[in-house]
Structure 1
């Protein structure tokens, strides 16, 4: 303990510069947009004016351009393009070459596409790839509502671009990639609701719960997609995603039952997220794991 010149212990010695006595940040917030559970929250959205305005750390009247959002939208566009192109190409190839892909090939192509996109862009944009998932994340405050329109715009535009690319490559076999129901409207609606519920239940677990095995997120979500298409593919095409249906429908000019694929997946995704949120363990039920998490920047 430091002493004064008289030899009396100095109990109020100043702290070493740069080492505050209390934590700067008292909590962390999980952001499903980027699967980032490690980075500390900090203000990067405004210009620093510490030297001009005492007691203030930033000046919000002049915000910086949100370059981060631009990159996320770019990654979301590319990821959705890859998903739609390969998930739609498989049934088109199946049609063109007389069943060469089979149902298992169609399901595997979509599952693998989801897996590689999550593993490659999940740390940038969160790899939503699906307006229904984006809306469900926003409903449960894992994603900011203000960014929802931009994300959906990126997803829809990527789907349309991928679909017209497929039309140019595989013309005139585009019809094979359109998801249309081969069962009644009620059956198709329930199937799309259930399989999207299953998908979002898994996504919510690996994207928002720190106790889930986040390192296997891509495999888990890809496997859920594969399983869903194996069951629902012959009946509805196994869309689970409004833009999986919308882009090919626009390119092929076939809008049969398109409303089912816009409404049922959205309701199913919100329900799936709600159910997992209801059943997941509370923060104080078990200790936090010490193993590293995936999808960190």
Structure 2
């Protein structure tokens, strides 16, 4: 405690002398508490990213493996739905903990738009790659011998075709993420549904062309486990560029954080036109 001493002395005529006792926390203990308050939540975020990426890749790539091994029983629509549902449920389950990136391209795009701290980017990316690699390794242990099929992504046609397709679908994905997750005028409760549906749509039409990765970790994990690196650079470079473009284009059209009612001066666009 700090006690107030009203006696004169040591040149403090009628002044106040603060006598600091030892029961105040020391500067070292305060520093330890502040460090702990930073590292514990951050470690929770990293664990969420590893677990989320693991379950996402495990579910999506398992649907591919089952489809290859059991007479196309899952089908392309089934694979698309699996990826979309996996993204949706994971966004709702750990989105409030880590942001539910599960994707190095998304993390980098948020960082360049100053919506994510750069100092956390390396750890996030590392955790995403670790989660994807562990998931791919689990799938390879489950499907051995004749059932061991490559569940990664490779161009079905030319490299240029897959590069352009990956750029477009990742642009589309990041554009949607920016709208529902970073704009306070959006309906935040529907973020998981919107992002999951976007992934479903992209896999549906782009899957037969490029594999519809949209995620460097999704392609890198199976490639590391199976040692198949054909065209891997496409799935690293193109999604990163596409995500950057999608985030920045949305930022260009965002232009304000004001609510819709204040922008239109009315409850709806229709009423706004009538009043004008």
Q: Whole-Å Cα distance in 1 between the matches of residues 70 and 32 of structure 2?
A: 60
Does 2:156 match 1:182? yes
Does 2:35 match 1:64? yes
Does the CA-based 8 Å contact 1:91-1:176 persist in structure 2? Answer: no
Larger-Rg structure: 2
Does 2:39 match 1:98? no
**Structure-2 residue corresponding to 1:159:** 132
* Aligned length, in residue pairs: 237
Taking structure 2 as the reference length, the TM-score comes to 0.81
4+ long deviations beyond 3 Å: 58-63, 284-288
CA positional deviation for 1:207: 1.1
Give runs of aligned pairs for residues 1-297 of structure 1, distance below 5 A. Answer: 63-65=34-36, 66-172=39-145, 173-284=147-258, 286-287=260-261
Q: Structure 1 pair 280/160, CA: closer, same or farther in 2 (3 Å)? A: same
Q: Whole-Å Cα distance in 2 between the matches of residues 52 and 85 of structure 1?
A: 48
Does the CA-based 8 Å contact 2:104-2:215 persist in structure 1? Answer: yes
Report the aligned-residue RMSD. Answer: 2.2
CA positional deviation for 1:284: 3.7
Higher helix share: 2
List alignment gaps of at least 5 residues for structure 2: 1-23, 263-276
Q: Whole-Å Cα distance in 1 between the matches of residues 129 and 225 of structure 2?
A: 13
Does the CA-based 8 Å contact 1:95-1:176 persist in structure 2? Answer: no
Does the CA-based 8 Å contact 1:174-1:252 persist in structure 2? Answer: no
List alignment gaps of at least 5 residues for structure 1: 1-50, 289-297
Does the CA-based 8 Å contact 2:150-2:226 persist in structure 1? Answer: no
CA positional deviation for 1:219: 0.5
Q: Whole-Å Cα distance in 1 between the matches of residues 212 and 126 of structure 2?
A: 22
Does the CA-based 8 Å contact 1:84-1:244 persist in structure 2? Answer: yes
Q: Whole-Å Cα distance in 2 between the matches of residues 284 and 264 of structure 1?
A: 33
Q: Whole-Å Cα distance in 2 between the matches of residues 185 and 144 of structure 1?
A: 33
CA positional deviation for 1:122: 0.3
Does the CA-based 8 Å contact 2:174-2:246 persist in structure 1? Answer: yes
Q: Whole-Å Cα distance in 1 between the matches of residues 260 and 169 of structure 2?
A: 30
Q: Structure 1 pair 184/59, CA: closer, same or farther in 2 (3 Å)? A: same
Deviations along 1:163-184, whole A, 9 cap, x unmatched? Answer: 0000001124343412100111
Taking structure 1 as the reference length, the TM-score comes to 0.75
